[in-house]
Structures are given as C-alpha cells and as structure tokens.
Chains A and B, each alone.
Chain A
Amino acid sequence: MRPLLGIADGKQEKEALTFGIWGVPGVEQRAILIVDDDVIIRETLRAVLESNGYVVETAETAKDAMEKSKARTFNLALLDIKLPDMEGTELLKKMHGIAPRMMKIMITAHATLKNAMDSLNLGADAYLLKPINQKELLKTVEEKLREQYAAESMSEEDVADWIQTRLRKLKVQ
C-alpha cells in the first residue's frame, strides 16, 4: 500500500523519505518536537516522552522550531501558545506550510484558553492545558499518532477524500 507521503507537499515527501519516517521500513521510533520557552516544561515533557519510547527534540523559540522542522521530519509537535519571538498560533500556521503531515498539539495555560480554541480553528489537532497531566499527555499523543498512522494506511480513494477534507480545513485559515 502506498503510504500517504507528501501528497500535500512534494518537498515533505522527499524529506520524509530521506529521513526514513512515515512508514518506511527500518524506523520504529516516533519523533516528537517540544516547543516551549520554559526549560522546566521542555525537560519534564522530554522525560515523560522519552521514558515511553519516543525520540524527542526540543526548541526554545519559534525560529528554532521551524529550523528543526525543516531539517528533519517529526511525527508530532507540542507547541506552546506563548513564545518569545512569535505567537504560537502564528507558528502553527507556519508549521502547516513546513510540515503539513505533522500532528500539532498546542500547550496553553488556563488564562489563554481562548487562544487554544482559536488554535483549533486554525488547524491544531488538539490542545493540552498547563499544568499538563502525564496520562492526558500520553493519551493525547498516542491518539494523534494513531490517527496519523490510520491516515497513512488509507486506500487511494480514502486518501483523495482525506486530502479534500484537509485542504478545506487549511483554506479556512
């Protein structure tokens, strides 16, 4: 079965093939990018995710996150809604262009719940509230990666439908 590679973006397909993720044989671990300006959040999230078998990279700024996302493929990114150099919602939009297939989960405090709702409208796949509950984090990450895998395993007809839905979602932005 043809994996759902780079259909929305040919560059992404090339990148994914180069780095051997997205169902390419030989790669089992899933890669996650954590973007948060607070080192304690970055390191605690890293500890939990690494202890559950994920490969983790971190970024302190939006600029760093975009550079890392261009350099390699991540299955999923956890994006803080408030970053020092850019609003998280703005980074979310840019990430859609850089890595359309990557799952994107926004992280926010209660005070910025409205931003979280806005980010869902902008195409985020989910959001988590700080302080983050460990079980909730793992459940959400696993759920989104399962969705991604399901999309990857779709038949050609399903793929066409999925792309139409995704494009409509992105056009709304």
Chain B
Amino acid sequence: MLFTIASREYRNLFLSPLAWAILAVLQLILAYLFLTQVDTYMGLQPRLAGIEGAPGVTDVVVAPLLQTVGFLLMLIAPAITMRTFSDEKRNRTLSLLISAPVSMSDIVLGKFLGVALFFLTLLLLIAAMPLSLYAGTTLDTGKLAAGLLGLVLLVSSFAAIGVFMSTLTEQPVVAAISSFGLLLLLWIIDWSGNSKESVSGLFAYLSLQAHLEPFLKGLFSTTDVAYYLLLTALFLALGIRRLDQQRLTG
C-alpha cells in the first residue's frame, strides 16, 4: 500500500514540467561547477604532486561538488515537496486516500518515499559526474560513498520536513516558503553564537550543514546518522499526527 502511494507520488512528479526543469537546471549548473573544479585541479596538480599527503582529486573535486549539491538541494527541495499534501487538499482529492483502506501513516510514509525516491534519482544523476572521473584516474571510493550517503540522509530529512510543511496548508507556495525557511534556518543555525561555547554547542548540533561536513571528509559517525534519521522520523511523525488531527477538527 505504501509503495502504491509512493510510486504514484513519484510518477506524479514527472507529470509536471517542474521535476524535469529541476533535473535539467540542476544538472547544468552542477556540470559547470564540476568542470571548473576539474579545471582547478588540473592547474593545481603539478604543485600537489610534490607535496606528501596532499589532497587528492576526491578532496579537491568531489567534496566541494557534493557540498554544493547539498546546498542547492536545500534550495530546490521545497519546490518538490510543496505539492505533496497541499495540492491534494486544494483539489479535495485527499478524501480518496483517507476513504481507502489505508492508514494515515501509510499515506504520509508513501508520499515521503515517493519524494525521497525523486531525490535519489537526482543524486544518482549527480553521482554520475564524479564517477566519470574513474575513466581517467582513481578516486577515494570510501570518501565518495560517505559523501553520497551523507547527501542521501540529508535529502531524506529535507523530504520529511517538506512533506510535513505541506500538510499544514492548502497553498503549495506557502508550504514551499515555510519549508524553505525552516531548512535555511537549520542550515545556518550554527553560524550564530560562535563566541559562546554553551549555546553554540546546541546550535551546532542542530545544524543540517554541520552534520554533512564529516561525511564529505569521509567520516562516518553514528552521531550524524542518528541526527538525520531522528530529524526525518520526527517530521514524519508530526505529519501523521497532523493528518489524524485534521480528522478530529475538520
């Protein structure tokens, strides 16, 4: 049941030009960045060759690329998730799902999975760029894998937050802006309070970006994994509660 809803959601995204536009634009921009990064590395390479323990191609090309991917996905994730529930509410189609023998958690998880699957497709296309480097050189596979895993976790939290925001309103644009606001806040939250140790500790823990960085350095830490999983679970639970509560308040 979950997968029925998920696959419908996934295919629905491709019915609108939005998904295609996002795929195309993102791919274009990232390809440009990737090429400049490769170019920079080509320039640096002779000098790096002389230094022992110098950063390799994975550090110079792949890590910055993946970091940019994380940032760009934050910008576009709300556009993908905004319609999940707001559209159904506005078109009064949600009652189709609610009248069907499907639980609320199936509905929310299905929508989430569908959107997450879209992000995975996006990441897969993006991953093709660093992978193409294998044609000419060798990469630090562990680092690349860690970086991609970090992004997968990151986008799953984007998807959960976006889906939850979409349950709150009938207006897709409102859903998009509010989820963008929340994502941006969580992204930059560790920028503040650098001076005060106690506050910055908490803020740094909450930051979406701060937990991505270790992954990009090839560091796989359960703290970071747990952070993303908790964030995702929290907003999915909130989404389910929100739908349940709507049955009560009407």
A binds B: no
